[in-house]
Amino acid sequence: MVADAALLADLPLFTALGQEELALLSQAVEVLRLQPGQALFKAGDPGEALYIVTSGEMELSVVDRAGQKIVLTGRHRGDVFGELAMLDAGPRTATATALVNTELLELDRSDLLLLVTKKPEAALHLLGAMGAMTRKADLLLRTRVARNVQDEIEDQRSLLEKMTDWIADFSGSMTFLLLNAGWFALWIYLNVSGKASFDPYPFGFLTMVVSLEAIILSILVLLAQNRQAAKDHIRDDVEYEINVKAELEIAHLHEKVEELTDQVRQRLDRMEGVLVRSRN
């Protein structure tokens, strides 16, 4: 199915083209439609075309050496992706998956040559898209050393959970202890001294209030413990990731050491051969 020239005119990549050029290009560009969860291509597949999102949303992701999925970026209407593999004829470096019903334009090498020949300015849009992807990858490499457990928990807290955490933290402070001691002492003093008699000895109302306070605080402490358990679970996952990465790096270092050892051994053998020949 060929693309509509009016559809191409709305995309930033083709804004520099005239009506005749858009009509010519629309006869060459193919329209693809993907279902949610459908993969357009996977990392390692041969790349012969770039794609432009006309509607929907695409997700570009890779899998690291620990076997975990890393989402590089999302692509929305007007965004270009897949241009790197098409330009250098190498394999795809990421996996592209549709998140929703998505419509794409497929631009292969011949279409790109036609586009750049007609309007060289369009090449700048492709270079800009490649630069944005490179910057995104650099940022991920700098930040993805290990996940911050505290940040993951904090970012997902609701307002009620934030209040619960604050109350649980405050109830375990010395300030809370002193406030309770002062409040109990004042309550008992007012009722024993006769200045007030709203709760005479043996202070049944105070006992009920303290019991309710103990119940509420115990529930808040249990909620805080549940959140701490979730945080510990994420921390265990992070430690596992670090251990796996460390193991892979150590194995990689072993390979490098063995490679260097073989190179040194070969050089020593050559030097020994040269010395033997020189003596003869």
Q: What is the pLDDT of residues 154-209, one digit of tens each?
A: 556 777 777 877 887 888 788 888 888 888 888 888 877 777 777 777 878 888 88
Q: Model confidence at 68, in pLDDT bands (50, 70, 90)?
A: low
* Per-residue pLDDT at 127: 64
Q: What is the pLDDT of residues 132-153, one digit of tens each?
A: 656 665 665 555 555 555 555 5
Count CB atoms within 10 A of the CB of residue 70.
Answer: 14
Judge whether 72 and 62 are in contact, CB under 8 Å.
yes
Q: How many residues belong to the chain?
A: 280
Give the 3-state DSSP-derived string for 177-222, with helices as H, strands as E and coil as C: HHHHHHHHHHHHHHHHHCCCCCCCCCCHHHHHHHHHHHHHHHHHHH
* Per-residue pLDDT at 219: 85
Overall fold of domain 5-143: Jelly Rolls (2.60.120)
Q: What is the pLDDT of residues 91-116, one digit of tens each?
A: 887 888 898 899 888 877 776 676 66
**Interval 83-94 mean pLDDT:** 72
Percent of residues, the chain, with pLDDT higher than 90? 0
Contacts for 112 with CB less than 8 Å, ≥ 6 apart: 50, 86, 126
Judge whether 80 and 129 are in contact, CB under 8 Å.
yes
Judge whether 2 and 31 are in contact, CB under 8 Å.
yes
